Amino acid sequence: MRKLLVLALVGLAAQLVDGALGMAYGLTSSTLLLFAGVAPAAASASVHLAEIGTTLAAGISHWRFGNVDWRVVGRIALPGAIGAFAGATFLSSISTEAAAPWMAAILFTLGAYLLVRFSRPLRANRAAGRLRSRFLAPLGLVAGFVDATGGGGWGPVATPALLVSGRMEPRKVIGSVDTSEFVVAGAASIGFLIGLGSEGFLLPTVAALLVGGLIAAPIAAWLVRIVPAQLLGAVIGGVIVLTNARTLLSAGGVGGSVPVVVYVLLGVAWLVAVGLAVRALRRTRRARATVEAALADGPAPAGEAAAAAPAESGGPAESGVPGESGEFAKPGESAEPAEPAASGESAEPAESRKLAAAVEG
């Protein structure tokens, strides 16, 4: 009973993280199951079966909060399902001994990616036009395959790619990725059912993860608007890296004092990444305060406001300003500071550049 309660708490925490970042439910859950000694295929199968329920609840919650772009969901979910089915079939066909280091390596790499991704300022340039199927379809295919073979990876692959494109609001990226994962999780579960049979699913584990995830899903859809994703992403990345390093070192037969040295180095890297994330978050908040102070002084004429946009962005003035949680400004919010007009005179170009530089961090 105590073990099931712990697993339910794991599912709850993993869903909160996933709802805030648009990633890491599968990574967090699979990592902890592997750490507990569960076979890789069984861990991935159980997590994906639980995700059918959690992603359905998350999708409904994100839809109610207006966080879903159904056009993107429709174009990324089907290729993702194909990739997930193929990945589940592949993982089911290899031995546990061969699968453990493979899965740990994927999780370790994705955890390291989270560390690097969230230790730097989160920026985007809002580009014109919509995301096309020729971009979304290959992205879904790769993300689905990685997700099934690694026990997680749909969010870490799909979410950053959509954010970097700059053509969607961050909250809609997270909501659309979470919603489309329902189809991906279902396809992966079918693949595992064919490859492993019903005995490949740890049903008590599935139930515990599902209960925790269902409780957290509505809360997570709300938290996506306020949680500091910058810091949370770096913290979760470090946990994933350290826990999967153990499996990789064991698979490589590394002994003696080497594992201790490796853990110390990884721990130091983790602390550095968290420190950088905190610094980036503070710079983001200071930049936002600068913008708000400039706006409070009074609006500038349209020509001056346009001149204040950073030349390097190449996009419209509202793109790429981080908010309090490390995300970017949403449509309708002012993303570039308007220079105050004093006594009818034009604002100084140097002052415009200073404000723009403060925003960029």
pTM over 0.85: no
Residue 82, judged by CB atoms within 10 A of its CB (0-12, 13-18, 19+), counts as middle
Instruction: Average the pLDDT over 26-39 and give the result.
Output: 77
- Tens digits of residue pLDDT in 246-277: 778 887 777 778 888 998 999 999 899 889 88
Report the pLDDT value the prediction gives residue 207, as an integer from 0 to 100.
Answer: 86
Report the pLDDT value the prediction gives residue 77, as an integer from 0 to 100.
Answer: 94
Residue 133, judged by CB atoms within 10 A of its CB (0-12, 13-18, 19+), counts as middle
Least confident segment among 49-63, 225-239, 314-328 = 314-328
Comparing 71 with 20, which gets the higher pLDDT? Answer: 71
CB contact at 8 A, 336 and 317: yes
311 pLDDT above the threshold of 90: no
What's the half-sphere exposure (Cβ side, CA atoms, 13 Å) at 94?
14
90 pLDDT above the threshold of 50: yes
Least confident segment among 3-17, 75-89, 204-218, 296-310 = 296-310
Measured CA to CA, the distance from residue 37 to residue 45 in angstroms comes to 15
Give the C-alpha distances (Å, rounded to integers) separating 157 from 127, 142, 148, 162, 261: 20, 8, 12, 9, 30
- Tens digits of residue pLDDT in 97-114: 677 787 778 778 877 887
- For residue 270, which of 219, 233, 318 has the smallest C-alpha distance? 233
